[in-house]
Structure 1
Amino acid sequence: MPNHPVPRLEESEAFWQHHFRPAFPQDRRQIRVLLRSYDDQAANLARGWRLGHYLGLGLVLALILHGLIAVGGIQLLLYGTLGLGTVLLVGWLNSWLFADWQNYWVIEQNQQLIACARRTGYNSYAVLCDVVVAPKYRHHGVGTLLIAAMTRMETQPLYLACCPKLIPFYRRFQFVVINPHSLTAYLRRELGLEQNPALVVLCYSPSNVKDQPIGCHPPDNT
């Protein structure tokens, strides 16, 4: 069976209007397929950090249940078990229903998602992760169009963490390397730096924001 060449997407206004768009609820299954096809360390760490919240909460509640047995007997244990089951059920439903699908932007080609990226916005900055291109379309300019589209619409400092080999790619879009020690503790955790300090942090600052990225601590004058 002959291998047909992958069509190269054209960067035009028609592309932005037709192919690049925010995710819809019906995209959840295809986004999950894209994420499973990608083994980037930074993306996995970001998802693992979110999963760790549920595991940590489950551990705390398990310790509470252990204390309830000693203090209040079986009745308190049953109430505690019900509470723990509710929390675990909510966490499982959140994962199964893919509740954060609305944070994703996608590239669609012939009714099929061929790339996605997850942008989480905060009051003064945003975080980019889960940047994935379908295996068939890699090295065909799709990733370039995706990041160009994400930065084109951005109005806040945009942070991401990646492996060192990807730095030249993101620098093409005016991302600059940021000292991770200048970031807030919350942002470092979300970027996965505590699990893997080898990841490199980059920031894209739109022209209408100040040079000092907002997610960073102000520089020390001493």
Structure 2
Amino acid sequence: MANRFYRRHHRGMKANGQQQIWVLRAPDICASLCLQPVETGHWLTALLIAPAMRAQGLGTQLLDQVRAEVDGPIWLFCAPHLTPFYQRCGYQLAAHLPESLDSRLQRYQRSKSLVALANLPG
């Protein structure tokens, strides 16, 4: 179901079998994100809010639910203009990344500008 939501609203996003899929419904899926376990925490990808439902706090709500239920650090990569949104949700510039994410970020940054952020428990 999440992949159908992603296809409808953003062609580049897709969930895979290694990820936990988190969704909000109203009654259909209106927001989704993916979490993938990494060495010492989780990597958050594919946060998407349906265009008609944006600016209603759904992204913040979904991120808050994930933080409340997931142990350990949560890392993500985002476009620089999205950094203030994630900072309001408790994310900060990542000082260190697990090796698998660090190498992935370096590869991704060859073709686009991305910022690595972390949300640490506590």
When the two structures are superposed, what TM-score results if normalisation uses the length of structure 1?
Answer: 0.48
Contact 1:34 1:132 in 2 (8 A): no
Q: Distance in 2 between matches of 1:202 and 1:123?
A: 16
Contact 1:34 1:133 in 2 (8 A): no
Instruction: Work out which of the residue numbers 35, 41, 51 in structure 2 matches 1:119.
Output: 35
Return structure 1 stretches of 4+ with deviation > 4 angstroms: none
Query: Gapped runs of 5+ residues in structure 1?
Result: 1-27, 48-97, 208-222
Instruction: Work out which of the residue numbers 104, 118, 143 in structure 1 matches 2:21.
Output: 104
1:160 aligned counterpart, secondary structure: strand
Partner of 2:46: 130
Q: Does 1:194 align with 2:107?
A: yes
> Aligned pair count?
119
Question: Equivalent pairs: percent with the same residue?
Answer: 24
Deviation at 1:32, TM superposition (A): 1.6
* Larger Rg computed on CA atoms: 1
Structure with the higher helix share, 1 or 2: 1
Contact 1:157 1:203 in 2 (8 A): yes
Q: Deviations over 1:40-68 (max 9, x none)?
A: xxxx4x86xxxxxxxxxxxxxxxxxxxxx
When the two structures are superposed, what TM-score results if normalisation uses the length of structure 2?
Answer: 0.82
Query: Gapped runs of 5+ residues in structure 2?
Result: none
Q: Distance in 2 between matches of 1:163 and 1:141?
A: 19
Structure with the higher strand share, 1 or 2: 2
